[in-house]
Amino acid sequence: MTLVLLAASDVLSDTFKLARERTFTATTVAEQLRNSAPDANNRPKRLVAARALVRRHRVAERGGKEFTDSAPES
């Protein structure tokens, strides 16, 4: 089954496409989609709120919080 966003902006659609390919972090989004770290962090937040992505918390290598986001398993 393939998940598709309906009526989403190009910004959210691009982020969702990345999530369908693999689990990612905000840093990955910033690198892949060539945007700022704050913007890359906010994109997945909107998709998580809509339950289009699943967010998991982990401890970053250098300490602090880090989240990984991925498409929900079908």
In this structure, what CATH number is given to the domain that contains residue 51?
A: 1.10.10.10
Check: CB of residue 67 under 8 Å from CB of residue 56: yes
pLDDT at 7: 54
Domain range spanning residue 57? 10-70
Q: How many domains does the chain have?
A: 1
Check: CB of residue 17 under 8 Å from CB of residue 11: no
Q: What is the largest CA-CA distance in the chain?
A: 38
- Does pTM surpass 0.85? no
Q: Flag whether 60 is in a domain.
A: yes
Per residue of the chain (74 residues), give pLDDT as tens.
565 555 557 777 888 787 777 888 888 888 888 888 888 888 888 888 888 889 998 887 787 888 888 888 76
Residue 24 bridge partners (DSSP): 69
Q: Flag whether 4 is in a domain.
A: no
d(CA 36, CA 65): 18
Residue 19 bridge partners (DSSP): none
Residue 11 bridge partners (DSSP): none
Q: Flag whether 3 is in a domain.
A: no
Q: Flag whether 42 is in a domain.
A: yes
